[in-house]
Each structure stands twice: as structure tokens, then as C-alpha cells.
């Protein structure tokens, strides 16, 4: 009896929860990448695919939430187990909202006047790469239960905010240039805004990872509107 394995069901359920979250985050990562691609290439077909896949992401979110609730009612988790499940529920909400931002970018790709290829400032691609990197690293911090990685994500968000501000001011300045399309510049601003929000949500995930590992609720980056 001394060698009997305890927690088999609970551990299996927690591992399955982690797997689900990793799969969903990878879907979101792809959606962000493709949305910027669809926007810059005016690829309406790809944009529409992203918009329709957002429904699948939303469904997956409820599935994961349901899994969390089932673990809670059947296994009565406490302490680190309970914090992990609550964190899972928070992360899935953040991921789903990131999916909405990606779909938002895809909608801009569809809406703005059709041209073969847009003149997209390099800053957009840089911000997109960075926020996807933050997403991946925040999920990695979750899988590895590594608070120091979570803090690093938050530090990165400051950098992202700075880039966003630079791009914002540069784009606003360009609206004074009569040769540039205001519609186009506005859409650039909206795309950048969606990406910046994705970075904030990656920071939220990082905050939750810190809660999971320590039991402490912390705000890592207080939003600074300017």
C-alpha cells in the first residue's frame, strides 16, 4: 500500500489542461502572425479564414473552462493545484481576447480599400514579432512554473509600449501629409493598437503565473495611457 500512486486522476487532468492551453496558445500565435500578413498583403481570403477561426477559438475557450470546473468539482483541489486551475481559467480568457484582437486586425484587412499590397510601416512587423514572442514566453513560464520568466515578459512589455508610442506619433504626423490616405493611416493605428493590447494580455498571463507560483496577486505593468 505504501507504493500506491496517489493523485493519478488529478495529475492526468492537470496535464491535459496544460496541453489544451498550449494548443490554444499556438493557434492564437498563428492567428496573430497571419492577421498581420493578411493585412499587409491585402489577403482577403486569409483574413476571412482568421475571422471564421475565431469562432473555434471561442468554443475551445469554453471547453477549457469546463474542464477546469470539472476538475474543481470532482477532485476538490487545494493550494498549488487550485491556483493552477484558477490560473488556467484566467489564461484561457486572455488567450480568447488575444484571438479577438487578431480577428480585429483581420477585419481591418478586409475593410480598408483594396490595393495589391499596403505600405505597412516596419514598426508593425516589429511589434507583432515582439508580442508573439511575449505570448510564447508567458505560456512557457506557465508550463515551467517559472516566475522569473514571467517577470521578464512584463519587462518586455515596457519595450513594446515604447515602440507602439513611436509608431503612433509617427503615423499621426503622417496624416498631415496630403499625399497619404487617412483611411490607411488610421487602419495602421488600429492594427498597432490591437497588437499593443495583445502584449498587455501576455503581461496579464505573466501576472497569473506569478500568482500560481507564489499565491501573490501582483500588477506588473500599470497601463500608462501616455
Partner 1 sequence: MVNIAKTETKISIDHLYVRYEDDGTESLRDIHFDIPIHAITALFGPAGGGKSTLLRTLNRLNDMVDVSTRGSVLLDGVDIFSSNIDVVTLRRRVGIVFAQPIPLPFSISRNIRYGLELAGENRRSRLDDAVERSLRAAALWDEVKDRLGDPAIALSGGQQQRLCIARVLALEPEVLMLDEPTSGLDPISTAKVEASLQLLKQDYTVIIAPSSIQQTARIADWAAFMLQGELVEWNRGEDLFSAPRNKKTEDYITGRFG
Minimal distance, residue 79 CB to partner 1, in Å: 5
Q: Name the one range near partner 1 by CB under 8 A: 87-95, 148-156, 198-206, 208-216.
A: 208-216
Minimal distance, residue 215 CB to partner 1, in Å: 3
Greatest CA span in the chain, whole angstroms? 81
The reply to whether 207 sits near partner 1 by the rule CB under 8 A is no
Contact between 35 and 105 under an 8 Å Cβ cutoff? The reply is: yes
Contact between 124 and 40 under an 8 Å Cβ cutoff? The reply is: yes
**Distance of alpha carbon 71 from alpha carbon 68, whole angstroms:** 5
Q: Which CB, 77 or 99, lies closer to partner 1?
A: 77
Q: Which CB, 42 or 82, lies closer to partner 1?
A: 82
Angle made by CA atoms 140, 145, 148, in degrees to the nearest 5? 80
The DSSP secondary-structure symbol of 18 reads H
DSSP 106-124: HHHHHHSPP-SS----HHH
The reply to whether 94 sits near partner 1 by the rule CB under 8 A is no
The reply to whether 10 sits near partner 1 by the rule CB under 8 A is yes
Among 7, 23, 111, 180, binds partner 1 (CB under 8 A): 7
Q: Name the one range near partner 1 by CB under 8 A: 3-11, 150-158, 161-169, 170-178.
A: 3-11
The reply to whether 82 sits near partner 1 by the rule CB under 8 A is yes
138: left (phi over 0), alpha (psi -120 to 50) or beta: alpha
**Interface with partner 1 in residues 39-78 (CB under 8 A):** 76-78
Q: Which CB, 77 or 121, lies closer to partner 1?
A: 77
Measured CA distances, 52 to 22, 97, 99, 103, 106 (Å): 21, 15, 11, 9, 10
The reply to whether 4 sits near partner 1 by the rule CB under 8 A is no
Q: What are the residues binding partner 1 (CB under 8 A)?
A: 6-7, 10, 76-83, 214-216
Amino acid at each position: 500500500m505504501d507504493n500506491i500512486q496517489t493523485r493519478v486522476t488529478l495529475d492526468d487532468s492537470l496535464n491535459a489542461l496544460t496541453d489544451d492551453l498550449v494548443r490554444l496558445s499556438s493557434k492564437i500565435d498563428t492567428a496573430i502572425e497571419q492577421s498581420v500578413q493578411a493585412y499587409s498583403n491585402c489577403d482577403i481570403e486569409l483574413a476571412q479564414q482568421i475571422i471564421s477561426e475565431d469562432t473555434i477559438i471561442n468554443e475551445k475557450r469554453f471547453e477549457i473552462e469546463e474542464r477546469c470546473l470539472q476538475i474543481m468539482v470532482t477532485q476538490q483541489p487545494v493550494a498549488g493545484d487550485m491556483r493552477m486551475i484558477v490560473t488556467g481559467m484566467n489564461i484561457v480568457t486572455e488567450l480568447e481576447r488575444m484571438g479577438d484582437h487578431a480577428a480585429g486586425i483581420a477585419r481591418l484587412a478586409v475593410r480598408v480599400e483594396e490595393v495589391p499590397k499596403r505600405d505597412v510601416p516596419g514598426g508593425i512587423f516589429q511589434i507583432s514579432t515582439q508580442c508573439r514572442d511575449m505570448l510564447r514566453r508567458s505560456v512557457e513560464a506557465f508550463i515551467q512554473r517559472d516566475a522569473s520568466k514571467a517577470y521578464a515578459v512584463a519587462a518586455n512589455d515596457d519595450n513594446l509600449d515604447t515602440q507602439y508610442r513611436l509608431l503612433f506619433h509617427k503615423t499621426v504626423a503622417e496624416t498631415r501629409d496630403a499625399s497619404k490616405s487617412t483611411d490607411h493611416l488610421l487602419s495602421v493605428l488600429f492594427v498597432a493598437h490591437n497588437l499593443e493590447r495583445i502584449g498587455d494580455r501576455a503581461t496579464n498571463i505573466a501576472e497569473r503565473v506569478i500568482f500560481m507560483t507564489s499565491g501573490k496577486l501582483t500588477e506588473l505593468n500599470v497601463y500608462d495611457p501616455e
